Amino acid sequence: SAEKISALESSVELNPPTADCLQCKDLGWYQRKVPMGHPDWQVLKPCPCQEPRLRAHRLVYANLPQRPPVRTFDTFEERHGVENAFRSAKEFCEPDSPGRLLTLTGGRGTGKSHLLEAIARNYLDQGRAVRYEVAGEMLKRLRATFSPDSQEQYQTLWDSYATVELLLLDELGIEHNTPWAMDELSLLIGKRERDGVRLVVATNLTQAQMSRAVDERVADRLWNLNSPGSNLVTLTAASYRTGERW
């Protein structure tokens, strides 16, 4: 009857559905109640209730290796010849670290990739955005955007690599010696350096080899010890897989 419908509508109006989050009312964003002129006045901020979802999104975006075990600083095997790299990697993760570029060089199996993943996971634990890429795979993905069937736009993808808070490039210098690949790496590394955006690189190559395999400009930037925030560390330990030194 009309009376029952009216009573139901009144009940709903008086008892609206309750939001799970009282701060953002389940919208995901909120504004602080601050006076006009305050830096946060009318600024939308992500609500803390969204952190589990954002954490999961950051982990997927990070693109970390899926093979077990998970590699962290706690699981890193400290040996003679890796001490400086281990210390430098941990220092690079400190929130107030001035580091902007960390280059890890050394032979195969010395632990460079492990340290890259450990740095990435430490950043993720701090709620920061990272992207891990094997350099060759990154170049393939960029090149694939030129295909008519590509679902990705080249500039959008390139910009994501150029601006993410921390980019980690593994195996830099392996089979990247086409003119296009050399230009892409030089432009990307140069862009991040100019903008002061953090970058960690791992390579088996020496400076001379990097100059020949990739680009002299890239080698000059990665082996630059005179710029504030740049650090180069060589891992001299034998391979933990074979025991050989390369």
Residue 140 pLDDT > 90 = yes
Task: Specify the pLDDT at position 24.
Answer: 82
pLDDT of residue 16 exceeding 60, the answer is no
Q: How far apart are CA 92 and CA 94, in angstroms?
A: 6
Residue 92: CB atoms within 10 Å: 22
The answer to whether 120 and 168 are in contact (CB under 8 A) is yes
CA-atom Rg of the chain in angstroms = 24
Average pLDDT over residues 107-126: 96
For residue 152, pLDDT beyond 70: yes
Tokens of 238: 């034998």
Q: How much is the pLDDT for 103?
A: 97
Two tokens, residue 223 = 């082996």
Query: What's the token pair of residue 201?
Result: 């690189």
- Over residues 154-186, the pLDDT tens digits come to 999 999 999 999 999 999 987 667 889 999 999
Predicted confidence at residue 5, as pLDDT, reads 46
Q: What share of the chain in percent tops pLDDT 70?
A: 89
Cβ(239)–Cβ(81) below 8 Å: no
Cβ contacts of 244 within 8 Å, gap of 6 or more = 238
Residue 48, CB-side half-sphere exposure with 13 Å CA sphere: 3
Residue 99 has pLDDT above 80, yes or no: yes
Q: Decide: 184 and 176 in contact? Cβ < 8 Å.
A: no
Q: Are 154 and 184 in contact, with CB atoms under 8 Å apart?
A: no
If one counts every other C-beta atom within 10 angstroms of the C-beta of residue 2, the result is 6
Whether the predicted pLDDT of 115 surpasses 60: yes
